[in-house]
Amino acid sequence: MAQSDGKNTAMQLSQSVAVERHEEPGLGVVGAIWIDNPPVNALSQHVREGLAAAVPAVADDPEMQAAVIVCRGRTFIAGADIREFGKPRLPPDTNEVRRMIEKSPKPFVAAIHGTALGGGLEMAMACHFRVADKEARLGLPEVKLGILPGGGGTQRLPRLVGVPRALEMVTSGEHITAAEALDLGLIDGVVDGLVNTSLAVGAFRFALRAVAEGRGLPRVRDIESHRAAVRETSAAGSPARPAGSTLPRFASSASRRRRDCRSTRV
């Protein structure tokens, strides 16, 4: 069902997901994919269903130039829906939704506030770009539940932040701040302002500027610098590590992305 306020129109895609046609004057039109699944916007079946429907909805709209995933309430996607644990998994599969987003012909931007944890961060890493408000925290805390990230986090995180830091984050389950995430290259920008609508507008503008600047469709899974870093380390010997470090001897692969990343305040 579509709703309109004159300039912007919204269509409900599932119980908890709607896509809104949002126009930013002078910049263009984005598809704002709103998730509203309180209390923490967990990746319930109806959220996955709505996100899967959003990809073709944006792709097929000739006016929408990009898509932005943004959540209502107090947080971005905070992870899997624990109420579904131990039950038969209903389609669509979360990893299939991530693949659909990665393959989208139009760029997807994750707008992060509150926390992006576990499956939420993994969903954000499947997007082409990520922005966050300055109070956001990000992490893969699955180890604290006795499990490992199962949605591509162990593959995508090293490609963004380098093997040593990714290994530390996965094995400790620690959260990092938006400022740390920006420095590491995990996100592409920080939106100033604590109000959720301010984050949304900043993300909309970031998405449209990325299109205007011709930044394309960068896919995290295509980043290969971490592999080269590991090969170079094996050939040249391990770099020195801090005293007492228990991390394996890997070279960092994040430095190049940090240089290439447009680390800006949106």
Q: What is the pLDDT of residues 61-100, one digit of tens each?
A: 999 999 999 999 999 998 888 888 888 888 999 999 999 9
| Residue 265 pLDDT > 60 | no
Bridge-based pairing state of the strands 175-177 and 137-139: antiparallel
For residue 80, what are the contacts with CB-CB under 8 A and spacing of at least 6? 42, 43, 94, 118, 119
Catalytic residue among 142, 174, 180, 224: 142
> Tens digits of per-residue pLDDT, 226-240?
665 555 555 555 444
Q: Distance of CA 72 to CAs 36, 77, 196, Å?
A: 5, 10, 8
Which architecture does CATH list for 2-265? Alpha-Beta Complex (3.90)
**What pTM value is reported for the model?**
0.83
Q: Would you give the distance in Å from CA 217 to the centre of its chain?
A: 14
Mean per-residue pLDDT, 117-142: 95
Known catalytic residue at 142: yes
| Residue 256 pLDDT > 80 | no
How far, in Å, CA of 175 to CA of 256, rounded? 23
Bridge-based pairing state of the strands 64-71 and 28-35: parallel
Bridge-based pairing state of the strands 129-133 and 108-112: parallel
Lowest mean pLDDT among 79-93, 113-127, 187-201: 187-201
Catalytic residue among 122, 180, 224, 232: 122
